[in-house]
């Protein structure tokens, strides 16, 4: 089963640290900013500073707009996202400090509650009939209007407009493929 979530259905949520806003694209049923199993969002980072504390969660962040950002965790481990579709995966517990390369950026986020769900992100700059991993729950977000989801047998299921989120519920090993440019594929799986 597929569901297209339109930008008009997204919610604007203040950051936990009060220094900005997040556009929440999707969240687990009954979830809130302080308690959820999984959440997908987009945030704009306009200045250097510390990320909100999401202790107990795993985070996956993808650069979707801007010149880049460095993330330093606990003054130690560093992730450098210097091109669109660069990905960083890190723990929500440590203090994460963001330093912009040259001006504001926007990022796509997948957060999952540790020991309950596992979240993964794959990015594709250009793909033709790429087979998707079979997962219980998946999401596709395209940065261009070229994203097309096809079923095995070349039947087109959906053409995804820019800025929309496609949610996939898969009960079987249905074979699905995507074609397009600048695509984010996020999966969430119960542990």
pLDDT value at position 171? 62
Q: How many helices (H) and strands (E) does the chain have?
A: 0, 17
- How many Å separate Cα 165 from the centre of its chain? 10
| Alpha-carbon gap, residue 94 to 54, rounded angstroms | 9
Domains, the chain, in order of start with CATH, read 7-116 (2.60.120.10), 118-190 (2.60.120.10)
Provide the 3-class DSSP secondary structure of residue 8: helix
The model's pTM is 0.93
φ and ψ of 101, to 5 deg = -75, -50
pLDDT tens string 161-184: 999 999 998 766 667 899 999 999
| Alpha-carbon gap, residue 152 to 138, rounded angstroms | 17
- Identify whether the C-beta of residue 114 lies closer than 8 Å to the C-beta of residue 58: yes
**Tens-digit pLDDT string for the chain (191 aa):** 889 999 999 999 998 888 888 999 999 999 998 999 999 999 999 999 999 999 999 999 999 999 999 999 998 899 999 999 999 999 998 799 999 999 999 999 999 999 999 999 999 999 888 888 777 799 999 998 889 988 777 788 889 999 999 999 876 666 789 999 999 999 999 99
């Amino acid at each position: 089963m597929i569901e297209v979530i339109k930008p008009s259905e997204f919610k604007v949520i203040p950051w936990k640290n009060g220094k900005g806003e997040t556009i929440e694209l999707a969240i687990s049923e009954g979830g809130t900013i302080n308690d959820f199993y999984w959440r997908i969002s987009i945030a704009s980072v306009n200045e250097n500073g510390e990320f909100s504390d999401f202790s107990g969660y795993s985070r996956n962040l993808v650069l979707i707009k801007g010149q880049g950002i460095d993330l330093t965790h606990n003054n130690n481990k560093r992730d450098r996202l210097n091109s669109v579709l660069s990905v960083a995966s890190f723990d929500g517990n440590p203090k994460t400090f963001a330093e912009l390369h040259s001006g504001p950026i926007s990022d796509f986020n997948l957060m999952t509650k540790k020991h309950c769900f596992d979240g993964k992100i794959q990015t594709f700059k250009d793909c033709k009939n790429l087979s998707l991993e079979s997962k219980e729950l998946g999401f596709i977000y395209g940065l261009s209007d070229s994203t097309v989801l096809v079923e095995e047998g070349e039947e087109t299921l959906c053409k995804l407009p820019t800025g929309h989120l496609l949610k996939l519920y898969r009960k079987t090993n249905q074979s699905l493929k995507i074609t397009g440019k600048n695509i984010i594929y996020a999966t969430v799986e119960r542990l």
